[in-house]
Structure 1
Amino acid sequence: MAETPVSFMVGTYIVLAVFFIVDLFILGRRPHVPSTRECVQHIAFFVAMALIFGGLIWWVAGSKPAIEFYSGWLTEYSLSIDNLFVFVIIMSNFAVPKKLQKFVLSVGITIALVLRGLFILVGAALVQRFTWVFFIFGAFLIYTAVKVARGEDDDEEFHENALIRMLRKVSHITNEYDGERLRVTKDGVKYWTPMLFVFLTIGTTDVMFAFDSIPAIFGLTKDPFIVFTSNVFALLGLQQLYFLLGALLDKLVYLPVGLSVVLGFIGVKLILEALHGNTLPFINHGQPLTMVPEVPTWMSLAAIVLAIGLSALFSVLKMRSLEKRRP
């Protein structure tokens, strides 16, 4: 397997930066509700770019990193779709006007990318220096998978966090939006608009999302370049996906089941890798458990595609079944 050339990585970062700026700061700055056709075209473009990028990685570095990218991208993309449930609730509770929701999403996605970048740097350093951290990552993912499977991770109601409650007590706040502005002046008094609280809520929510997504991707690859590009491609086009799936999110009833299977699978994979590569004084006389099976990369991709694909298929079948029963 060849190493990914530095020139290829630099070129990738430049292209992704252009994609990100155009997606969020040019198209995302236009306050409008995108049409279904616009959403489909936008999403199809970035999906195609991700598939082509995986092919380019295969060409320059070999099949293993390419399969790792596809596995990571599908996992992060699936988690991003699940995260849209929370965005819908936040937008609804803060009564964000439809024409401003695209702008709010662009800011929220930017915050998510910055936070995930920081988490990736920290995670990569931990993985390289302390391989036993896989035990923690694996246990956390299995715990999260159980919560998702039980429905304990569902956010049926939105609850303001302590920071926002405190700001409401000590600041002048208006209940009206003034475009994209965070601060307005009325009768000589400065007020915060609800837009500030929307940004704070989405930003703090992004932190929680990162706690799920970063351990999951490190369970599939230890290459920071693959980890980062998987996350960026999963975030590109998320605005349009929000509007396209807005009315369908509550109908993807089996998506949490598919996600729980993916997270549980990756959690087990991480623990097996940790057992295989770490020396534990109380097991096997302090020697690595080399007899522990390792999950091949292609199996990870197959499991992810199967779990997410079946959850989407059964969700569609149930939706059609319910529609036929309606009088």
Structure 2
Amino acid sequence: MQVSPLIWTLTIVFILALLAFDFIFHVRKAHIPTLKEAAIWSSIYVGIAILFGLGIFVFGGSVPGSEYFAGYITEKALSVDNLFVFLIIMASFRVPREDQQKVLLFGIVFALIARTGFIFAGAALINSFAWIFYFFGLILLITAGNMLKPEGDEEDGANNFIIRIAKKVLPTSEHYDGDKLFTMENGKRVLTPMLLVMVAIGGTDILFALDSIPAIFGLTQDVFIVFTATAFSLLGLRQLFFLIDGLLDRLVYLSYGLAAILAFIGVKLILHALHENNVPFINGGEPVPVVEISTGLSLSVILGVLVITVVASLISPKGKAHAAISGARRHATAYVDLEYTTDQEERNRVFAKLVAEEEAIRGLPAKYRQSAHEEEDLMELLKRAHQEHDASLAR
């Protein structure tokens, strides 16, 4: 698809304007988004992405349009998976609820910058070396395999190498000072944990790009489509986090669905590499006659896998149990941590969620209910939360 420099410029300006609008009108003043606010703005950003895709259909044709939507849906699904890690990082650093928006927006901006760099580097490699498709395909197959491995310790998400070095080298306070990155402590200017959170988010964004960029290049090699599908999948991610906050724990089979999608795209890339082959030790450096997967089939497979994965997660007893137990632990931790938020309305919301999750645990099948009761640290945490709530009512 031929895209003029003017269209490139207008598109980039439009994306930057959306980010600036998000910061000025939603993030600059720390607050906790309501469910209604998150739902409205999530819908607006998804609507913008869909309208942009329809524009590609009209002015570029059905093939570029299909490639855009296949790329957008894949990147959006991978972004939702990324939200799990963001949730773990912010919980580990005990980021106050009203300041989480700024962390998320920083993560989105950093991801957009990092992925733009990867996109143009990937495009240059594709134009220079046809064999890079083999490499991209292998990356996706390895990533798909890693997604099927049992999850490691969640605390590792906020205790990576970069953070450990930063904590040792840079003077950092133990407490937040609003959403400031620096504060004064004992007469000295020191970093706040907010800056370390942003470093952790930025580091994980780079790792996420290592699988998301090869994935979308497996669906289209049009740089404009790759860039716009990636950018629009990231825009609105902050609102989506607050909208599906309670639903994240419910998507227990999402990693399996994403593994299937990445493996499928990995195979598609390798088939394409064989079709364009010029590697001397494969078929004498000549193209291999193989079946190539069409964009329409790719879009159908991606949508089908995601629908099956989400539905299976929502109706499964395992999903309900995992959501109730994880949610109760997270909300009890937030409630007993007075640094998490000083907003009484938010504290009431957190406690109401906790009570609902405790009720959900009591309604679980016996094996899941028993598993929850056997977690002594969870039971002690729930007890502390109720004691704190009773004390607050007595004050």
Q: Deviations over 1:127-182 (max 9, x none)?
A: 11111101010011011111112345x66333522332233233332111111212
CA contact (8 A) 2:250 2:320 kept: no
Q: Bigger shift: 86-95 or 175-184?
A: 175-184
Alignment of 1:159-170 (within 5 A): 159-170=158-169
- The corresponding residue for 1:193 is 192
SS of the residue aligned with 1:30?
Answer: coil
1:19-168 aligned within 5 A: 19-151=18-150, 156-158=154-156, 159-168=158-167
Query: Structure 1: how far apart are the matches of 2:22 and 2:48?
Result: 13
Find the counterpart in structure 1 of residue 325 from structure 2. Answer: none
Query: How far, CA to CA, are the matches of 2:164 and 2:113 in structure 1?
Result: 25
Alignment of 1:167-178 (within 5 A): 167-178=166-177
CA shift, 1:23, in A, is 2.2
Cα distance in 2 for partners of 1:219, 1:184 equals 46
TM-score, with length taken from structure 2: 0.78
> 2: distance between equivalents of 1:27 and 1:204?
25
Amino acid at match of 2:154: E
Q: Distance in 2 between matches of 1:285 and 1:187?
A: 70
Q: After the TM superposition, which residues 136-285 of structure 1 pair with which residues of structure 2 at under 5 Å, given as runs?
A: 136-151=135-150, 156-158=154-156, 159-285=158-284
Matched-pair contact (CA < 8 Å) for 1:68–1:226: yes
Q: Deviations over 1:205-262 (max 9, x none)?
A: 1110110111111111111111110111111111111111222211101111110111
Distance in 2 separating the partners of 1:279 and 1:271: 13
Looking at structure 2, the residues matched to 181 and 14 of structure 1 have their Cα atoms a distance apart, in angstroms, of: 28
- Could you list the per-position Cα deviations for residues 94-139 of structure 1 after superposition, in whole angstroms to 9, with x for gaps in the alignment? 0100000011111111111111111111111001111110101001
The TM-score normalised by the length of structure 1 is 0.93
> AA paired with 1:261?
A
Contact 1:145 1:261 (8 Å CA) reproduced:
yes
The range that moved more, 277-286 or 257-266, is 277-286
CA distance in 2, matches of 1:305, 1:123: 25
**Residue equivalent to 1:299:** 297
**Is there any run of 5+ residues in structure 1 with no aligned partner, and where?**
none
Question: What is the deviation of 1:308?
Answer: 0.8
State the Cα deviation string for residues 76-95 of structure 1 (Å, max 9, x = none).
00000000000011111101
Deviations 1:265-319 (A, max 9, x none): 0000000000000123333333111x21111110111111011111011111115
When structure 1 is superposed on structure 2, of 300-309 and 182-191 the one drifting more is: 182-191
Within 2, Cα distance between the matches of 1:16 and 1:321?
Answer: 37
Percent identity of the aligned residues? 43
Question: For the residues of structure 1 that align with 2:101 and 2:170, how far apart are their CA atoms?
Answer: 27
Distance 2:282 2:127 in 1: 23
Q: Is the 8 A contact 1:23 1:237 kept in 2?
A: no
- Correspondence for 2:333: none
- Secondary structure at the aligned position of 2:177 is classed as coil
The structure with more radius of gyration: 2
2:190 match: secondary structure: strand
Counterpart secondary structure, 2:300: helix
CA contact (8 A) 2:271 2:292 kept: yes
